[in-house]
A and B are shown apart, each in its own frame.
Chain A
Amino acid sequence: MKKVIILIIIVVVLSNLPPLKWIVGPDDILYSNASGSFTFNELNYAGRNYQLCIVNFEAFKSVHKEDTLLFRITPINIFKFWRWNEYLTNDKYKLHYKSWKEIETKRGPLVNKTNWQAF
């Protein structure tokens, strides 16, 4: 039993470290404000990342005085043990979660995207 526990711990730790971490790739997540007037999708492999999202959201806030809270709309999946390190340390997972269903219901269907909307 002790050996199994040690093995599980080793697998979890190794899967959270390079190079195994690189194999699973980055977790591309989605963001929105409460009304869906700002939305952003990550594609980390090409540098479309959380930092770029923040740069865009800061610019959004400079011209919009309302609805200036950014939410993570991609859920944390506790069973993805290989992402535990990211879940605990990456700033993007510290954003509040908000259900996209809830946001989309409020916003309604999108006809033309503004420059602040990816979806």
Chain B
Amino acid sequence: MAILPKNFIAIDAEITIAGGANGVPFSLFDPNHPFAHQNQYRPLPYYQYENKFNDYSQFNRERHLIIEEELTITPPPLDLKKAFNCFNQVQSAGAKYSIKLCLDVPNNKNPLALPPETGSQTGHTFIVITKSNAGKTITQVFGFYAKQHPGYLFPWRAMPSIILNNQLREINASLEMSLTQDQFDKLRQKAFDLAKNKYAADSYNCTNFGMDLFNSVRIKPIVVEKFTVFLPVNHIGPNLLELTKTPQMLFKKLKSMKDGKDAESPNIIIDTTGKTKAPLSHGECN
């Protein structure tokens, strides 16, 4: 036990000074530091070169720099054939089928607006298909995307598309309808065919895919107005882009159907609170 002279106070202090090899200081102890990690087996870290408190023999520490390697993977699409295979797990005789056309607008407070950062938040339209029988239900939730950001210089160009799982995506408006088995079979083939299309922001986007699929099994198709957007930072080509189908105009249509007491209004949900989410999807099956 140390005997302290009178008028002295004992202070138990941890000192942390970290320096990089090139003298540039960086914190090795930030748990979220992108380039450096330290595995240490003591309650509190401290670290200082040539410091009398630094005793390597006492602690088992490993320091290493993390090299963030260039990543070269392209996520594959949801395999729609495999996704539809999962519906085979539910017995078809007497099964109930339904399809729901869903949309998520980028600005819940102003559902008909496209935010100024045009192209960054376009909103999304997607499909929920459900088959249920004898207490067993399979649901698949999917939507159509461009494989990457369409860009600002040529936002209307056709580009490779991808189908992705859209489970738990926010739903601001939806319209649900039930299907017969024949309609379901037709829908399955139509989904495969439409998924082959290229993505084009103005002429074939997620809303075109969703509405085309939904309308393929309807007698009275849903029709929406065109949507003209201004591209503030586009310097090549026209600054006005006319989109044939959009989540914004689909929202307007579904809301007018709901407000106008359309025969299908009980099957329409409008919710701009952000609380309504798409159900869990099922994944792929052989």
Interface residue ranges, A against B (CB under 8 Å): 18-19, 22-23, 25-26, 28, 30, 39, 41, 43-48, 52, 55-56, 59, 73-77, 87, 93-97, 99-101, 111-119
Contacts and interface: CB of A to CB of B under 8 A. Distances in A.
Given A47-B104, A52-B168, A118-B164, A23 B233 contact: yes
B281 to A, nearest CB: 4
A41 B285 CA distance: 21
A77 B283 CA distance: 33
Interface stretch (B44-52, B90-98, B144-152, B259-267): B144-152
Contacts of B106: 47
B251 to A, nearest CB: 14
A56 B73 contact: no
Contacts of A41: 75, 164
Contacts, number: 120
Nearest to A104: B73
Given A22-B117, A44-B149, A48-B169, 8 more contacts: A18-B116, A45-B119, A45-B121, A46-B122, A46-B146, A47-B123, A77-B70, A95-B32
A45 B122 contact: yes
B123 A46 contact: yes
B124 A46 contact: yes
Contacts of B9: none
Contacts of A43: 145-146, 148-149, 164
B167 A25 contact: no
Interface in B85-123: 104, 106, 116-123
Contact of A113 (B66, B78, B118, B120): B78
A56 B122 contact: no
Interface residues of B, number: 50
A39 B283 CA distance: 13
Nearest to B125: A46
Contact of B66 (A59, A77, A97): A97
Interface in B34-52: 34-35, 37
A118 B75 contact: yes
Interface in B54-83: 66, 68-71, 73, 75-76, 78-79, 82
Interface in B257-285: 277, 280-285
7 contacts: A19-B233, A39-B75, A44-B121, A48-B124, A112-B286, A115-B281, A115-B282
The listed residue with most B CB atoms (<10 A of its CB), out of A43, A55, A114, is A43
A5 B285 CA distance: 58
